[in-house]
Amino acid sequence: MLQGIPITHVLIVSSFMFFTGVCGFIIRRNMITILMSIELILNAVNINLVVFNKYLFPDQLQGHFFALFVVGIAAAEASVAIALIINIYRRLNSISVDKVNEMKY
C-alpha cells in the first residue's frame, strides 16, 4: 500500500496532523474540541509508528501493534475524559476550559 510513496510525504502529513492537534489544544476553549485535538495528536503518532516500522524494519510488526495499543488506550482515555466533561458540565453548566480553573495550587 505504501509502495512508491516516499517516507517524507507521509511524515509531512503526520507532522501537519500533530501541529494541528497542538494548535487546537492550545487555542480552543471547548473541552470536546480539545479532546478531539488530543485524538489528532495520538493518531499523528500512530502514523509515525507504522511508517517507521515499515521503512526501518520491514519484516517486523512491533510498530503496528504499538499503534493498535495506542488506539485502544486512546479509546479508554476518551471515555474517561468524556465522563469528566459531563460531570464538569453538570457542576458548572459550561464546558469551557476558562471556567475550570479551580484546581490550581
Partner 1 sequence: MNYSLTILILLIPFATFLFNGLVGMKFKPIVSGLIGTIGLGVITLLAYLTAWQYFFVDGMVGGSFPKVIAMSMEWLRLTDALRIQIGILLDPISVMMLVVITTVSFMVHIYSLGYMKGEKGFERFFSFLSLFSFSMLGLVIATNIFQMYIFWELVGVSSFLLIGFYYSKDSAVAASKKAFIVTRFADLGFLIGILLLSYFTQTFDFKVLTGTDQSIFAQTAGVSFLGMSVMTWAALLIFMGGAGKSAMFPLHIWLPDAMEGPTPVSALIHAATMVVAGVFLVARMFPVFYFQAPDALTVISYVGGFTSLFAAAIACTQYDIKRVLAFSTLSQIGYMMLALGVSGYGGHEGVGYMASMFHLFNHAMFKALLFLGAGSIIHAVHSNVMQDMGGLRKYLPITHITFLIACLTIAGVPFLSAFFSKDEILVAAYEHNKLLFAVEFLVAGLTAFYMFRLYFNIFWGKETHYHHTPHESPKTMTIPLMILALGSVFAGYIPFSKLVTSDSMPFESHMDFGIAIPSVLIGLTGILIAWILYKKESKIPERISKSLGGFYQAVYHKFYIDEVYMFITKKIIFNCIARPVAWFDRHIVDGTMNGIGWITVTSSRNIKGMQSGNLPQYGMVFVLSAIILVLIFSFLI
* Residues contributing to the site for partner 1 (CB under 8 A): 22, 25-27, 29, 34, 97-98, 100-105
CB of 64 to partner 1, least distance (A): 26
CB of 15 to partner 1, least distance (A): 13
Residue recorded with cell 521503512: 55
Residue recorded with cell 457542576: 91
What is the rounded distance in angstroms from the CA atom of residue 9 to the CA atom of residue 2? 11
Cell of 16: 501537519
CB of 25 to partner 1, least distance (A): 5
DSSP state of 30: B
Instruction: Between 25 and 68, name the residue whose CB sits nearer to partner 1.
Output: 25
What is the rounded distance in angstroms from the CA atom of residue 55 to the CA atom of residue 2? 10
